[in-house]
Structure 1
Amino acid sequence: MKCALKLIDVIGAIDERELKEVNVKGTQFLLEACIQENVKSFIYTSSIEVAGPNTRGDPVINGNEDTVYSCSLKFPYSKTKFQAEQLVLQVNGEVLRSQDKMVTYALRPMYIYGEGCKFHLGLMDDGIRNRGILLRRSKKESVVNPVYVGNVAWAHILAAKAMRDPKKAALIGGRFYFISDDTPHVSYSDFNHVVLKPLGFGIQERLALPLPLLLFLTLLLKMVQVFLKPFVKYTPRMNCQLLIMLNTPFSFTYEKAQRDFGYTPKYSWEDARTITTTWLESVLPQHRALLKTH
């Protein structure tokens, strides 16, 4: 079994050519190496962002792999992840030199949280700078279903085991699966508040500005970025794609993964929340100290 490395970029800080080199060509090279070395199974860690949301912010509530959704991927990270996923799925059934057939499929985790998550740290730092109040970037009603990193890892283990069973391999080969767990459905901002609230953080009651105005401001920032490009690299911390993602109800069930290869979350929501908050508590003092020196 092989899993491709990837670059993650939600703010557009990485050049699209570099994203394509790693996410697409890197995956292609791994697939070619697997074929040459008679590696029979390949699991690709994809992303919820290959599914959307689209530029209109059309919602999906408890969707599944058969949900019809019109999505034109424009953000480089989303595009390269989707292209790599398609490469992996298309190789399913490839005949190896050993005459075995390769089995491939993709897992699409929701927003992954847990110990080591850099997004938690960035939001925590913003809260420290804002005197203990987290900045609200998503509306309360824009519910999503984050997934704990330990459950994502567990899904990979169960998927790998399923590949050893010829009947299951024939069923799941060439398919993608959404991976979520029993984390409560809330907005991105409210979720981050849940794991940081025990450490004394509050959160803004509402968005700082109405969403249409925030979208307009992101367009202005994009224009500034384009204007400055010949002279200096400038990457706004917020863009239209990210703002829409943060403010679109977008959730998917794990029922198909449960049915086809026996996935059920290994970690309960209570355990996942405790582990995440405990980790954040362990790094909080050094982040407070570091921010004081800047």
Structure 2
Amino acid sequence: MSLRGDVCLVTGACGFLGTRLVRLLLEEENAAEIRLMDKQVQPTFVQSLEGCRGDTALSVFQGDIRDGDFLRKACRGASVVFHVAAIVDVTDAVEYSEMYAVNVKGTQLLLEACLQENVASFVYTSTIEVMGPNAKGEPVVNGDEDTAYDGALKFNYSKTKREAEQRTLRAHDEALQNGGRLATCALRCMYIYGEGCRFLLHHMGDGVRNKDVLIRMSLPEARVNPVYVGNVAAAHLQAARSLKDPQRRSIAGGKFYFISDDTPHASYSDFNHAVMAPLGFGIQEKLIVPLGVFYVFCFIMEVLCVMLRPFVRVTPPLKRRLLTMLNTPFSFSYQKAKRDLGYAPRYTWEEARKRTTEWLASELPKERERLSVK
């Protein structure tokens, strides 16, 4: 089953994952049209796609996901929606009201537009953080969709993404205006890395400041399983194909799936080192201070920020909840996505690491120059 002849709408089309998904759609599917939806779409991005679009039409929908009329226009005539757009923030720097309006209300408005405009399939980009880790730092090793876990979430990002995921899955099989039924599913992606990952750039910048030694923020035993962006894009494509196929739709519709690949399990810090070591970066052997002291430091910083709140809004660079996430073993298998969706990683760990490291190498001179100017 392919998306040949379909009209595909990609929200967040200019973002880290969105751009990779758009290119994959152009390279592998003979879709009738791909609609690039984002708050701002640069003409240079559209021009960069001309060489691989073939007969597929490219349309730009630039606007606000909180605008229901705009969403109805974007969805009119579409058959598949890939909802990638979201505010991603694990430091709580963004006000909760803004994050809720985009991540939750925006998703709800988009689902309503799909129902009104007879969109048949809706693939939602979720995150491992809707699962946890919880405030206690209870570990999960090679979990799956049936793993029971007390996911008392603390991040505003986690809370809004979980509510948006729940609304998406509840909308499965709702009636369209033309008498058909909407099919939905959600992909809970692990930490996504690859070309364009701003988190990797941030950590590389910190390493440059620290004389090419990466700062250790997680214990070696706190292993997670990051996933390469190219494999995440492939999972989205396979999910859309499955929702279009009547037999697979009956299995996958209304379900969530963990999306990982064969990237070796490692702590966040050790993973950063794995992709940056070829560039000459070392890594600290131990945390700057013992983990317990780190928690006390974060607590003091949080209290100070609360005290300053009446005068100025200050966000601490590190909170206890983020420290817990960085130091909790938390990994999940993609086997159910393989069985139900037919998903299989397109890129091996060796190829994903090579591509990521080469991209970081191209960015390193600019990062050194930027930091030298400061």
Give CA-to-partner distance per residue, 1:240-286, whole Å, 9 cap, x none.
11100100000000000000010000011001000000000001001
Q: Which of 166, 174, 178 is the matching residue for 2:254?
A: 174
Give 1:152 deviation, angstroms: 0.2
- 2:341 is equivalent to residue 261 of structure 1: yes
Indicate whether 1:244 and 2:324 are aligned. yes
The answer to whether structure 1 residue 111 and structure 2 residue 191 are counterparts is: yes
Q: Which residue of 2 aligns with 1:40?
A: 120
**Displacement of 1:71:** 1.2
Q: Residue 356 of structure 2 aligns with which residue?
A: 276
| TM-score when normalising by structure 2 | 0.78
Q: What is the RMSD computed on CA atoms of the aligned residues?
A: 0.7
Q: Identify which of 193, 208, 217 aligns with 1:137.
A: 217
1:141-194 alpha-carbon deviations (Å, 9 max, x no partner): 000000000000000001111111111101111110000000000100000000
What CA distance in whole angstroms lies between the structure 1 residues aligned with 2:296 and 2:235?
39
Q: Is the 8 A contact 2:248 2:341 kept in 1?
A: yes
**After the TM superposition, which parts of structure 1 deviate over 3 Å for at least 4 consecutive aligned residues?**
none
Q: Does 1:2 align with 2:81?
A: yes
Instruction: Show the counterpart of 2:297.
Output: 217
Structure 1: 5+ residue stretches without partners: none
Unaligned residue ranges in structure 2 (runs of 5+): 1-79
Corresponding position of 1:288: 368
Instruction: State the alpha-carbon separation in 2 of the partners of residues 240 and 149 from structure 1.
Output: 28
- Give the Cα separation in 2 of the matches to 1:92 and 1:17: 27
Amino acid at match of 2:336: K
* Match in the other structure for 2:17: none
Tell me whether 1:63 sits opposite 2:143 in the alignment: yes
Aligned length: 294
C-alpha distance in structure 1 between counterparts of 2:239 and 2:253, whole Å: 11
Tell me if the contact between 2:143 and 2:333 (Cα under 8 Å) persists in the aligned partners: yes
Does structure 1 retain, via aligned residues, the 8 Å contact 2:185–2:239? no
- SS of the residue corresponding to residue 350 of structure 2 reads helix
- The aligned residue for residue 159 of structure 2 is 79
Are positions 1:20 and 2:94 aligned together?
A: no
Percent same amino acid among aligned pairs? Answer: 55
Counterparts of 1:114 and 1:108, CA distance in 2: 17
For residues 218-251 of structure 1, what are the alpha-carbon distances to aligned partners after superposition, in whole Å with 9 as ceiling and x for unaligned?
A: 1111111111112222111111111001000000
Q: What per-residue deviation string (whole Å, max 9, x for no partner) do you get for residues 44-82 of structure 1?
A: 000000000011100000000000011111211100000
- TM-score, normalized by length of structure 1? 0.99
The structure with higher relative contact order (CA 8 Å, sep 6+) is 1
From the two aligned structures, give the one with the greater strand fraction: 2
Q: 2-side partners of 1:164 and 1:71: how far apart?
A: 32
CA distance in 1 between counterparts of 2:96 and 2:202 reads 23
| Residues 185 and 253 in structure 2, CA contact (< 8 A), matched pair in contact too | yes
